[in-house]
Amino acid sequence: MRKRTVPRLGSVLRTSRLSQVTYNSCGDFAAGYILGRCLHCDEEHFGDWYTEMRDAHRLLKMHGESPWLTIPWK
């Protein structure tokens, strides 16, 4: 059994670079993730999970101290 559960740093950095090239902001990345997850895992019934994620997404896009607004994307 492999004890290591933390992804290798190289994989995280590569994923980060690809995300920054593909999306214009953290909010755009999150919206894509939320919609993709709903379509893939929620049997096309968005339900409570979607509305909770939508509300969190809206809050993070508008709150002045949100990391989405205070940490540079690129």
Return the H-helix or E-strand segment holding 66: none
**pTM for this entry:** 0.68
Locate 34 and state its tokens: 């939320």
> What is the distance in angstroms between the CA of the first residue and the CA of the last residue of the chain?
37
pLDDT of 23 reads 94
pLDDT single digits (tens) 7-52 = 688 888 888 899 999 999 999 999 988 888 877 765 656 677 788 8
